[in-house]
Structure 1
Amino acid sequence: MQKTSAKRLIGAAVLAVLLACFFLFAGCARTDESDPYVTNVVNTGTEIVVTYSDGSTKSISTVQEVSASAQELYEYYKTLYGDELTYDEFLQKYLTVGADNSAAVGQVLLSSVKFYTEFYETNWTLTGNWPTRTDGTSVYTGSGVIYKIDEDYVYFITNYHVVYSSKANANNATGNANGQYIARGIYCYLYGSENDFERAGTNGNYATYDYGDYAIECEYVGGSLTKDIALVRAKTADVTAIRSDIREVTFADGYSVGETAIAVGNAEGEGISVTEGIVSVASEDINLNIDGTTRSYRSMRIDSAIYGGNSGGGLFNAQGELIGITNAGDEEDQNINYAVPLEIVRGVADNIYHYAADGDASTNGAYIPSFGASYNAKNSRYVYDSASASGKIVEDIEVRSVESGSVAAALGLQAGDVITSLTLGDAEYTLGRSYNIADILLSARAGDAISCTYTRGGESAESGSYTLSQGDLASLA
């Protein structure tokens, strides 16, 4: 068994070399059906001899880098491993072997920013046995990504805790349209155009600061304490005056365990930098204390290194697509860090932007409906998809209870039903985890029709449709 295992590992290494050579030099076009096709592959130990239908042969060295066609590598792979994956699955699985992420990183830096946030705070310290109060100006640093660019404004996503301080005092509300606890000053910097702030003077008990020539003044748009996501904006003219080639982030369709996770942020306040790791856990709950109350937050675990100042920065896959916003880390283990998952980031940002742009001054922040049901997660299992060479954990979502007068009650759901899909507006979502429902409802707006499919007593059923009203929506804390 040991010898067999060693040979498989060596074979895999050789295949990786061949694949790297092929994808680097030979392109990935499918072989034409009229061409001679592979009839036999023999590994002699020092070379692979490929025989074709027209009687010709080709030798591929296993000890030096050479070019080989996709079909040749596919046939060799099947001979070596006995795997019956299709040709298309083979190309998809191995297309990124030897990939260089520098191009993706170069692009995402055009969407990355650092922040300084300013507060008037009150801090208490003990002098002997006596508490001492100190009022002063505090400046914090964080990160963000460009969410949307329109004619008037550029919108940025960051963490709520970057723009919020539970220590802010009543003076912080003076001249601050967003109240006591939101930053009285928010300044962002584009990558490559960053500088530090300097003390400029005083205003009573509070220091004043000069944030430099590259500072772009921003304003708070809205945020969610319970999701740790906020949206801020700056005038488009102010941003493009610094650099005109800024880009909105591209959102990924999803993510999976083992996928590349590139963290971009203002590590330790020293300027925007890049670290790379993988997604370690797709979803887990962690406890955070932002406002003096400890709450549970659904998070993605990563092993990418992040530090103070990374909060609010983008987490990207190998294609440069956003999969999360970094927000927390384990102080005792640098390989255990966390990010707000893609579904929450996009759902909250879209929600806040919708109400900021709806022309109604009475609505701001985010609004969601309560589904009105509790669930039991049952039959949890791992499902692998050979086509994408990735897998995910799925579970059955069994209704435990239904609140009277709720959306779930309007859909006719009962305790014991297993919900299998949810339709919101024109989009149908297959449900695999109980938290999917809350994520989907971040996209709900007044006037949207909602329905679901479920099983009851082993029989499949489809609910009626319920149209959401503004009264069904409540402000997202």
Structure 2
Amino acid sequence: MPSVVSITNVGTTEFQTFFGTYEQESQSSGSGIIIGKNDTELLIVTNNHVISNAKEISVYFNSDGEDADEDNVISAKIKGTDVNKDLAVISVALEDIPQETLDIVKIATIGDSAMLEIGEPVVAIGNAYGYGLSVTSGIVSALNREVSVQSDGQTITNKLIQTDAAINPGNSGGALLNSKGELIGINSVKFISEDVEGMGYAIPISDVESIIGDLMNKVMRDQVKEVDRGYLGINGVDVTSDVSKSYGMPIGAYVDKVVDGAAAQKAGIQKGDIITKLDGSSITSYNQLKEALSYYAAGETVPITIQRLDGPEYKEITLDITLSTSLQAGVKSEE
């Protein structure tokens, strides 16, 4: 299993009490697939929900269920995400990986999921229950199954491969392989019911290969110091999946207020616009937009895609926006 890794996500979870909202550190595990390599990075594809809300991401190479060898547990950074497809690409610096590990790991061979047939044998590999990498086998039970999952607080629906190969918690982000050992799907979810067993799902690789390529090519960014961060100068609210279905609005960050003289107003953003992408990455909530902006400095120019109501329909517009300083934007409007 030289192309599949275990992933640990240390993040925070918000919970409500009578006394208010609190944050608690949480840890979860998942899987990833080595999908590429450049001069400085090893690139790994996984599910967005595996690394969502992460403060720290660790990749474990050569996981066999035994105690982790510290040399093979390496910090990773998020390269890019696509919430709507529940995809993420993370990066591990080559200089942090021991040479003996680099000699063993391999980039996955990509197959053609469009050629799959019902009844075809498949193998699922992943970090089941966080115990280390394991292998299960089965067949393709169905194709193009519409399945809804939660990702970053939103309900997203995609057409997935259904398999009876066991896909358990922790397997998310792992590999679904055909009989040739080619990657034909990314394990995504397991249907859990008292009455139904053996319904696992995977994202068809051919449907998302170009999206993964775009995420792999994104420029790595570190979070900018708060004093240097760039701002749009807006107030926003979430357009959730429920609101989207009820009112026919695109999912994203609804612009409720535009600060006079700040970046958004100068670029032409208006109250009522819905921000759906920042620098090519999907935006599904106002909090996600603020988190994404924390990686950009004031004075940087970034492409932002909005949906604007034009008669009975929304029209997509992409604007190049030069971000404001906190003073120009009125920081309180974005916190």
**Interval of TM-score (by shorter of Structure 1 and Structure 2):** 0.5 to 0.7
**Deviation digits for residues 407-459 of structure 1, max 9, x if unmatched?**
xxxxxxxxxxxxxxxxxxxxxxxxxxxxxxxxxxx9xxxxxxxxxxxxxxxxx
Residues 343-362 of structure 1 correspond to what in structure 2 (within 5 A)? 343-356=206-219
Identity %: 28
Q: Which is bigger in relative contact order (C-alpha 8 A, separation at least 6)?
A: 2
Residues 271-310 of structure 1 correspond to what in structure 2 (within 5 A)? 271-310=132-171
SS at match of 2:199: strand
* Residue 252 of structure 1: aligned partner: 111
Q: Is this contact kept in 2: 1:257–1:282, CA < 8 A? A: yes
**Deviation digits for residues 231-278 of structure 1, max 9, x if unmatched?**
001011323435122110001123222111110000011100000011
SS at match of 1:252: coil
> Could you say if the C-alpha distance between residues 473 and 195 of structure 1 is closer, same or farther in structure 2, counting changes exceeding 3 Å?
farther
* Residue 118 of structure 1: aligned partner: 10
Structure 1 length-normalised TM: 0.43
* Residue 265 of structure 2: aligned partner: none
Q: Is this contact kept in 1: 2:79–2:90, CA < 8 A? A: yes
In 2: Cα distance, 1:282 partner to 1:135 partner: 40
* Residue 49 of structure 2: aligned partner: 161
* Residue 139 of structure 1: aligned partner: 27
Among residues 60, 65, 71, which one is paired with 1:189 in the alignment? 60
SS at match of 1:348: helix
In 1: Cα distance, 2:36 partner to 2:207 partner: 17
In structure 2, stretches of 5+ residues that fail to align are: 221-279, 281-303, 306-315, 320-335
* Residue 201 of structure 1: aligned partner: none
**Per-residue deviation at 1:114?**
0.3
Q: Is this contact kept in 1: 2:72–2:98, CA < 8 A? A: no
Q: Is this contact kept in 1: 2:72–2:97, CA < 8 A? A: no
Q: Is this contact kept in 1: 2:145–2:161, CA < 8 A? A: yes
**Deviation digits for residues 97-142 of structure 1, max 9, x if unmatched?**
xxxxxxxxxxxx01010000111332235xxxx4664432111100
Partner letter of residue 352 of structure 1? L
Partner letter of residue 31 of structure 2? S
**Deviation digits for residues 13-50 of structure 1, max 9, x if unmatched?**
xxxxxxxxxxxxxxxxxxxxxxxxxxxxxxxxxxxxxx
In structure 1, stretches of 5+ residues that fail to align are: 1-108, 166-182, 198-210, 358-441, 443-469
* Residue 203 of structure 2: aligned partner: 340
Structure 2 length-normalised TM: 0.61
**Per-residue deviation at 1:289?**
1.6
Partner letter of residue 111 of structure 1? S
> Could you say if the C-alpha distance between residues 285 and 131 of structure 1 is closer, same or farther in structure 2, counting changes exceeding 3 Å?
farther
**Deviation digits for residues 60-101 of structure 1, max 9, x if unmatched?**
xxxxxxxxxxxxxxxxxxxxxxxxxxxxxxxxxxxxxxxxxx
Q: Is this contact kept in 2: 1:147–1:248, CA < 8 A? A: yes
**Per-residue deviation at 1:292?**
2.6
**Deviation digits for residues 133-179 of structure 1, max 9, x if unmatched?**
443211110000100022211000000000114xxxxxxxxxxxxxx
In 2: Cα distance, 1:142 partner to 1:294 partner: 20
1:226 equivalenced with 2:84 (yes/no): yes
**Per-residue deviation at 1:216?**
0.9
Partner letter of residue 144 of structure 1? G
Residues 67-466 of structure 1 correspond to what in structure 2 (within 5 A)? 109-124=1-16, 130=18, 133-165=21-53, 183-192=54-63, 212-241=70-99, 243=101, 244-254=103-113, 255-332=116-193, 333-356=196-219
RMSD over aligned CA atoms reads 2.7
